Amino acid sequence: MIEDKNPQRTPLSELGEFGLIEHLTNHIEIKQPSTIKGIGDDAAILDFEGKKTVVSTDLLVEGIHFDLSYVPLKHLGYKAVMVNLSDIYAMNAVASQITVSIAVSNRFPVEALEELYDGIKMAAKIYDVDIIGGDTTSSNRGLIISVTAIGYAEEDEIVYRDGAKEKDLLVVSGDLGGAYLGLQVLEREKEVYKVNPNTQPDLDKYSYVIERQLKPEARKDIQQLLKKLDVKPTSMIDISDGLSSEIIHLCKQSKVGINLYEDKIPLDPTIISTCEEFSLNSTTVALSGGEDYELLFTINQDDYPKIKANPNLTVIGHVLDEKSGMALVTRANERIELKAQGWNPMKG
């Protein structure tokens, strides 16, 4: 589907392992003042000058987390970084460095890894993080990417998952469900392509949801926005697995209950129309879809005036005591228990 017509193919063996790492990393610039030493020694050296260090790591496996038949390698590299930066921003911290390890089979030429690294470097540049280390190694099958993101924060800025308090408001950034729908569109096109490889798909009307899937953006801006608005969330998490399961994480760790209002869940118009086309319930998609990398957080009610006019933020629920449980309040005003994937009618 997305393919270079005249690909140049340099076998990995031509560079060797040391040559490959050097080739992929030799133009990497160091810009963060906290990076004392990046790639090129046994380990990288960082200096956070009294601030707390924040660390998060993720592993992406071909065939499980991505399908190279429709994911361009450059986008994959970009997304692998986003997934990790999102975790740093969810601590209300500043992301400053990443390490990138890649295992790759011989079926990938050097040019493919260059593409992947182009995406990684682009993400690092846009999000202002330094690439400070990594490992490039062989795999007997497929592509594996492991990214560790590092950041910093003042102690009193850090937001954990366990700080939500009764009567707090539940807030989400952006809109939900797009990444999942983008995946549905791409999967459908893959099937169409299998039947007729000459089809030229017209994906224009799906460009929003496809971009949400292929090139998500971690919400660095929200962390900065909240600082500007002088709002410190009481708890925060990023939405990688779907709204429902993230709400459950926040509530369980904070030992609180919640009412999530179905009619408040922010949905882009494209999402509503695409859901209709695929005969999917848009609430289910938002609750269980995942991969939107929006931020979900709770704020004290007193902070509501500071955020209410902001188009990036939507209040979608409010925090209850633990006994009240975690529920979706439907448009029909029914209270339904939240489940990690989808939901079931509440007992009692």
Contact residues toward its own copies (CB under 8 A) are 18, 36-37, 40-50, 52-59, 61-65, 86-88, 90-91, 93, 97, 99, 101-103, 132-135, 137-142, 144, 146, 148-151, 153, 155, 158, 160-162, 236-238, 253, 340
Indicate the residue among 150 and 210 with the shorter CB distance to its own copies: 150
Whose CA is closest to 295, among 232, 223, 231?
Answer: 223
Burial 89-105, CB ≥16 within 10 A → b, else e: bbbbbbbbbbbbbbbbe
Indicate the residue among 206 and 233 with the shorter CB distance to its own copies: 233
Smallest distance from its own copies to CB 205, Å? 33
Indicate the residue among 149 and 231 with the shorter CB distance to its own copies: 149
Indicate the residue among 155 and 204 with the shorter CB distance to its own copies: 155
Indicate the residue among 106 and 301 with the shorter CB distance to its own copies: 106
Smallest distance from its own copies to CB 199, Å? 28
Q: How many CA atoms lie within 13 A of 224 on its CB side?
A: 7
Contact call for residues 320 and 258 (beta carbons, < 8 A): yes
Indicate the residue among 119 and 134 with the shorter CB distance to its own copies: 134
Q: Angle, nearest 10°, between helix axes 207-214 and 178-195?
A: 100
Smallest distance from its own copies to CB 230, Å? 22
Smallest distance from its own copies to CB 45, Å? 5
- Grouping H, G, I as helix, E, B as strand and the rest as coil, residue 75 is helix
Smallest distance from its own copies to CB 44, Å? 5
Indicate the residue among 93 and 231 with the shorter CB distance to its own copies: 93
Smallest distance from its own copies to CB 13, Å? 14
> Tokens at residue 5, please?
């017509």
Residues 155, 161, 166, 167, CA torsion sign? positive
Distance of CA 193 to the CA centre of its chain: 28
Smallest distance from its own copies to CB 138, Å? 5
CB-based contacts of 4, cutoff 8 Å, min separation 6? none
Smallest distance from its own copies to CB 64, Å? 5
Torsion of CA 276, 278, 280, 283, to 10 degrees: -60
Residue positions counted in the chain: 348
Q: How many CA atoms lie within 13 A of 248 on its CB side?
A: 16
CB-based contacts of 210, cutoff 8 Å, min separation 6? 182, 185, 186, 203
Q: Which helix (H) or strand (E) holds 95?
A: strand 94-104
Indicate the residue among 154 and 321 with the shorter CB distance to its own copies: 154
Strands 257-261 and 326-329, by their bridges, are parallel
Smallest distance from its own copies to CB 38, Å? 10
Indicate the residue among 56 and 314 with the shorter CB distance to its own copies: 56
